[in-house]
Structure 1
Amino acid sequence: MIAEVTRTQQGYKAVFDRKLAHEPEHVWQMLTDNQKIHRWFAGLQIEQSGKDGYLTFDMGHGNFEKMAITDYEERERLGFEWGEDHVLFKLTPEEGGTRLKLVETIQALTDHTPKDVAGWHVCLDVLQALLDKKGIERTLEWEHWYPEYKRLFESMRVSFE
C-alpha cells in the first residue's frame, strides 16, 4: 500500500502503515539489531542506541552521515534525523501481530523526495518479506514503486525531472 502523503504547516508528511503478523519484539529487533538492519537497509547502522544515541548512514566513498536518535522507547518508538528531515517508526501491538507505522516528516520537497519515499516503501517491503521468510527482489520493487511516488508528488503539483 502506497504511503499517505499530506501537506503540513512545516512541510510534508509521508505515513506508511503496515500490519505485520509478528510480535513487536521481532519487529523491534529488525529495527535495532544491526545485523538485521543491514538486511533490509544496507548502510544504515545504530552506533549507540537510546535517547542520546545516534545512527550512521554510509553515503559511499568513506563518507558517513551521523544522525541523532530523537525518540526512543524500547519496542515502541524509534525516531531519528534524516538529513533535514525526520523518520519515526512506531510499533503498536495488535491481535495477531504488530502495527508498524513509519512517518517521514519532510521539510521541503526536492527532486530526490520521490526516490527517498519510494526507498522507504521498498525497505518496508523487504523488512516484511524477511520477517515472513519470503524472497523479494528489491530492483523489481523499486521499478514498480518509484514511478508511483513520482506520479504522486507530481499530482501534488510538484514536477521532477
Structure 2
Amino acid sequence: MSETLAADGDRTVLRMERRLGHPPEKVWRAVTDPAHLAEWFPARVEADLRAGGRIGFDLGGGHPPVDGVVTEFDPPRAIAYTWGDDLLRWEVRPRGDGSLLVLTHTFADRFGAASFAAGWRMCTGTLTQILGGGPATAPGRADDLHEALVARFGLDEGTSEDVPGGWRVRFERQLVRPAERVWAELHPDAVPAPGDAVPPGFTVPEFAPGTVTEARVPALLEYGWHRGDRPAGTVRWELGPGTGHGARLVVTQTGPHDLPGARIAALTAWRAHIADLAKRLLDTAP
C-alpha cells in the first residue's frame, strides 16, 4: 500500500494505491455493488449507479446519514462521487494477473489526512481478505499507523506568520485520544482558574509562563508569557472535535517583532512538546 498527499488550492488530495491479486471485474464489483461494499466499506451505501445519480452513506452509531452525487461512472474502470464536501474516486486498473486499485480522496481538512489514510488502509485491508475468500478479521484501532502517517505527511510541522504587532506560531494536530484523556495527560490535578500558575504540561522551558488568563476544561487554556520582566505574548491551547477517535489540538503562541529568535524557538519547542504528548497518549488506554 502506498499513500501520497498533495495540495490542490485550498483542498488536500490523498492518493492511495493497492495491488490486488484479482481480476479487475471482481474488484470493480467489490467497490461499486452496495452488497459487496457492506463487507468492508466504512458506511452502508445506497446508490443509483449512473453519472448524476444519488448516493447515500449511513455510518450508524447515531451519526446522521450523508448524501452525495455520483460524478463519474465508467464501468469497470472508474467511479467517483461526493460524500458531503469530500470527493472520492476509485479506479481499477489491470496489473499483471491482478489489479491496481487507486483511491483519490479530496477534502478540505488537511490535518485529518492521517486519520483518513489510516482508515482507508484498514478498510482496503479488509477488502483484500474478502476478495481472497477468507473471513474478514476485525481491524481494531490504527493509532500507531496514524502517528506514523502524521510524520510522513508532515502534519507535525508548525506554521509561522506575521500579525499586527508581532508574529504568531501555530500547530494543529489530530490526536488519537479524546479531549478528556488529553487534558488528564497534560494536567491530572485540580482544575486551573484565571490567576493560577500555569500547569507544567502546557508549557515549554524556552518560554517563562505568567499565570492562567482563561481556562475551560477540557477545551481551552490560555496564559501570557514574558521575557524578563516584560510581557511578550500569549500561549493558547484548544481541544475540539476531530477525525477518527480523538480530539483536534491547536496550539498558538504570539510574540513581538523585536524577538524574532523567539519565533524560531517556538516552532522547535512546540513541535517537540506536542510530539512527546502524542507519543505518551499512545501508551494510554483508548
> Are positions 1:11 and 2:11 aligned together?
yes
Q: Residue in 2 aligned with 1:159?
A: 173
Output aligned runs, 1:83-94, within 5 Å.
83-94=84-95
Higher relative contact order (CA 8 A, sep 6+): 1
Aligned length: 159
Aligned-partner residue type, residue 18 of structure 1? R
CA–CA distance in structure 2, aligned partners of residues 7 and 155 of structure 1: 16
71-80 or 144-153, larger mean C-alpha shift: 144-153
Give the match for residue 101 of structure 1: 102
2:212 match: none
Which residue of structure 2 lines up, in the alignment, with residue 63 of structure 1?
64
SS where residue 173 of structure 2 aligns? coil
Q: So what's the TM-score if we normalise by structure 1? A: 0.85
Q: Which residue of 2 aligns with 1:126?
A: 126
**8 Å CA contact retained: 1:3, 1:121:** no
Q: Contact (CA 8 Å) 2:44, 2:59: kept in 1 or not?
A: no
Query: Which residues of structure 1 form unaligned runs of 5+?
Result: none
CA RMSD of superposed structures (Å): 2.1
Shift of 1:42: 4.3
Deviations 1:89-130 (A, max 9, x none): 0111122111110001123424x4432222112111111121
CA deviations 1:30-85 (Å, max 9, x no partner) are 11121210110142313211112122111433721111111110111110112222
Unpaired segments of 5 or more residues in structure 2?
Answer: 159-171, 175-248, 250-286
| Helix, strand or coil at the partner of 1:123 | helix
Task: Give the fraction of aligned pairs with identical amino acids, expressed as a percent.
Answer: 20
Structure 1 residues 78 and 16, CA gap change in structure 2 (3 angstroms): same
Structure 1 pair 152–84 and aligned structure 2 pair: CA distance change class (3 A): farther
For the Cα contact (< 8 Å) 1:17–1:102, is it kept in 2? yes
Q: Which residue of 2 aligns with 1:82?
A: 83
Q: CA deviation at 1:28?
A: 0.7
Partner Cα separation in structure 2 for residue 156 and residue 4 of structure 1: 17
Match of 1:151, as an amino acid? Answer: A
- 1:159 alignment partner AA: R
Deviation at 1:148, TM superposition (A): 2.3
TM-score by length of 2: 0.51
In structure 2, distance between residues paired with 1:92 and 1:2: 15
What residue is the counterpart of 1:72 in the other structure?
Answer: 73
State which structure, 1 or 2, has the greater radius of gyration over its C-alpha atoms: 2
Deviation, structure 1 residue 144:
4.1
